[in-house]
Amino acid sequence: MKNHISNQWAISLSLLLTILFSSTCTGIKAQSIYGNFPVEESFLSGSKPTFVDVPGNNPNVLFTTRGVQLTKNIQSQFGGIFINNRRLTSKNGVHIEFDYMMYGRGSSAGGDGLSVFLFDAKTKNPNIGAEGAGIGYAYNWATSSTSYRRLGLSGAYVGIALDSYGNYKGLRYQGNPPSQVQGIPFGISIDGKIEATENTRDNITIRGAAGKGFTANNGAKVFTIPDGYAGYPVLITQSTNTNKGFVITEPGDLSGYNDSRYVAKASTKKKNNFAISGDTQFNSPMDRGYRRAIIELFPVPEGDPDGGFYITVAIEHDTKRDTIIYDYHYKQSFQYQENAAIPYRYNEDIPISTPPIKTLDAQVPDSFKIGFAASTGREINYHYIKNVKISLPRAAEANLDSARIDMGGLAVINPLDNDIAYTGTISRNQIGKKDYIDEKEFRFVDNSGTVYKLGSGQTQIEVMTADGKWVYNYTTKAVTFRPKSGFFGAATIRYNIRGSNTNEMPYADDAYRSLNRDIIVYVNEGPAKPTSIVTNKMVTNRGSNK
């Protein structure tokens, strides 16, 4: 898997014209050979964005001014969305961030949870996974009736669950219909057996790709498991509220069920115990119950025979941040014991005694699509997502800037001082610096999504808003804001940046442009003073991924 493009890399005009794709998503104006990165959507407008699909036109999914509501806090709800019409190439990885709200559980523990998943972009008319414990990704092979069975996600590559109830890490059997209670969750013991004593709630769990259907002989008869009901193995799970966790291992002795499938593994990064659910609504990161998920798939170094990605999952909760799963190596191929053959019955006629050993083909697709889903069962919660941001690892990084002035004053801000870009071979220990930013690629973005950039021969960008005049000068690298006469309060404009000032690929491609960040000027009511007060948030370099 390639994770760096050399300076001399070139692409033919015919291929370029084939793969370029226009976009209407807020913040995406440029064409790119790496895909439609970055993607930003607040989901706060109250209406469905044009690039979002709702599988099955599910009426539970509501687009509100508080975010996308995937479920209400009533039993047996399910909802999901696909981000469509976005060409998100996969070879250089992906970085996903989103705020989520889980609340309204009443006196119960809350459930089931929320998932984010990636699937092959070539999949036509994708089927979303099972409701309940499957949380839109895994399948459900009901033991009591085929009418209760649900396929797993079509073209599934990886599914990450923020599982408040803890059911997503269990084997996918459920004999009751979707309209009924989901039952007691299963835990995974060290030897791979189902033991309720090993169950934990508040788990971050990663499941792998869809497998292939298979035919087996149990000694009495031949049975067939079709595609969509095999694979999706649990790769790693870690509780946010305890130190319990498990990670899959390839079995040594392949002779039978007692071979170890999982070993205990506690998080090496988590410092705080906390509940996945924040139990309340919130508007800002400073509010009680704030929750934000950060998921990164980082490409392994070129030449690694196992290929695939390192997967890291972190949660920002209240004013803290904990990395729950750190650098899990999701290989392109590995052996696992097939979940679809535990010592239970598929139906009333076929007892299964020994789970077969299978090799999962987890080849990375050329391009991804991304989806979100949530479900409730006996336990309930509202589930919302908002402020979704999808970018490439090692894209430029802009940070919030702010200043405070008096009425009639002039704010002077140096936004690039706490921003970074990257250079050289993409790697885990890469360090970003402001020196790698291309000052000429600074862009303002107003509230309508209109982008303002330097024209040929220009040295300044000027934007007039309802609050005043914003100016960026690339020779001084400074932004100034002069409020309109009589204005006081908070004036805000967004901006983004890009490396590289030497046209180094891939950083000089617009797919490696930063996410939009705010510049805020607080204008006091009162006369101007000789000196303006300028502040910048300290830079946060995510290059080390810690």
User: Among residues 356, 371, 391, which one ends one of the domains?
Assistant: 391
Residues 242 and 286 in one domain: yes
Question: For residues 531 and 98, which has the higher predicted lDDT (pLDDT)?
Answer: 98
**CA geometry: angle 465, 468, 472, nearest 5 deg:** 85
Integer Cα distance of 228 and 246 in angstroms: 25
Amino acid, res. 466? A
Q: Across all residues in the chain, what is the average pLDDT?
A: 83
Instruction: Give pLDDT tens digits for 53-94.
Output: 999 999 999 999 999 999 999 999 999 999 987 778 888 999
Q: Is residue 29 part of a domain?
A: no
Say yes or no: 208 and 132 in one domain: yes
Find the domain containing 280 and state its range: 36-391
Q: Where a domain ends, among 358, 391, 424?
A: 391
424 and 290 within one domain: no
Report which secondary-structure segment, H or E, holds 489: strand 489-496
pLDDT bin (cut points 50, 70, 90) of residue 130 is very high
Pick the range with the lowest mean pLDDT from 22-31, 180-189, 475-484.
22-31
Residue 220 and residue 101 in one domain? yes
Confirm whether 240 is domain-assigned: yes
In a domain, 542, yes or no: no
Residue 329 in contact with residue 306, Cβ under 8 Å?
A: yes
Q: How many domains, in total, are found in the chain?
A: 2
Residues contacting residue 437 through CB under 8 Å, at least 6 positions apart: 396, 416, 419, 420, 421, 497, 498, 499, 501
Would you say residue 199 lies in a domain?
yes
Q: Is residue 20 part of a domain?
A: no
- Which band of pLDDT confidence, cut at 50, 70 and 90, is reported for residue 265? confident
Answer yes or no: do 528 and 437 share one domain.
Answer: yes
Within this chain, do residues 372 and 441 fall inside the same structural domain, yes or no?
no
Average pLDDT over residues 188-210: 75
Give the pLDDT confidence score for residue 478 in this predicted structure: 97
Which residue, among 128, 307, 183, 161, has the nearest Cα to 239 in the 3D structure? 161
**Total Cβ atoms within 10 A of residue 18:** 10
Residue 546 falls within a domain, yes or no? no
Is residue 232 in some structural domain?
Answer: yes
> Across residues 305-334, what is the average pLDDT?
96
271 and 383 share a domain? yes
Residue 323 has pLDDT above 50, yes or no: yes
Same domain flag for 362 and 410? no
Element (H, E) at 38: none
User: Is residue 127 predicted with pLDDT exceeding 70?
Assistant: yes
Give the model's pLDDT for residue 73.
95
pTM of the model: 0.87
283 with 354, same domain: the answer is: yes
Residue 9, pLDDT above cutoff 80: no
Does 99 map to a domain?
Answer: yes
Asked if residues 247 and 328 have their Cβ atoms less than 8 Å apart, the reply is yes
CATH number, domain at 59?
Answer: 2.60.120.200
pLDDT of residue 302: 86
Domain boundary among 333, 366, 391: 391
Q: How many CB atoms lie within 10 A of CB 208?
A: 22
